[in-house]
Amino acid sequence: MYEQIARNKRRTFVILTAFVGLIALVALALTVLLSAGWVGVVIAVVIAGGMAFFSYFQSDKIALAASRAKPADETEYKRYHNLVEGLCIAAGLPKPRLYVVDDPAPNAFATGRNPEHAAIAVTTGLLAKMNRVELEGVLAHELSHIKNYDILVTTIAVVAVGAIALIADIGLRFAFWGGMRDRRDSNNSPAGAIIAVLALALIVLAPFAAYLMQFSMSRNREYLADASGVQLTRYPPGLISALEKLRDDQAIVHYATKATAQMWIEQPLETSNDKGERRKFDNLFDTHPPLEDRIARLQEM
């Protein structure tokens, strides 16, 4: 387990570097379509660096705001605060900021850049539907994400994917509203046309590449957080029971998006058809491993 944690930390650096590189490439492709020259290259580098800096320091605030999370009053949510405080003492972690999302769907997520600047948010549905040991299991899972530094890469990914999608959308709008035509009029060389087409292709494919990077980073981290959470509580049935309730509950989180989906303890978006059945190949594009697999692994512990 400790080797896996160390491996995840190394992968975190690689993934974050890849996100910065992808943002720079998309920004550079946009400058090509705009015929901005070397000035555009400098702008692309500045955009990528600015996005990386902003993501590192502000991604948790963006994730909490996007989820409509509100600070959890210590008196109103006393059980929530007490459980987190006890788990933090056991884990040797500072107490994170606690938030509540007013949503009937049971779910939770952790965000932040490190244990000293972390936050946990739970839905009102989770607080209402989980008993004490189940809620403790969920909170231990989220604290494990904090302790393992998973929160850094997941929260930065939320901002990075959004930034890439925004830049790509600007590029596509520019291309389809005359930008490509204006560029052809000003540069009729075959090389210029090829570069423009490649830039447009990069802008189209970049959001998909960003989502695939999200998928690759999140699944193993969920298995590890499950195992670490159980190790923290010393009571596997608590988290197992919580995951079973999450599996049986079909409600979706109203304020969850594709960009923020990987942060939650389980897939917060609709993944079945009108009959409640899984669509074929849907699990290939889920940000989380199937709950049945996670439950089975915990039952073997």
Mean per-residue pLDDT for 38-62? 71
pLDDT tens for 275-293 read: 444 443 455 556 678 899 9
Average pLDDT over all residues of the chain: 80
Q: Is the pLDDT of residue 18 over 90?
A: no
What is d(CA 128, CA 131) in angstroms, rounded to the nearest whole number? 8
Instruction: Write down the pTM of the prediction.
Output: 0.75
The structural domains of the chain, ordered by start, are 2-65+152-215 (no CATH), 69-151+219-299 (3.30.2010.10)
Active site (catalytic) residues: 142
Mean pLDDT of 156-181: 68
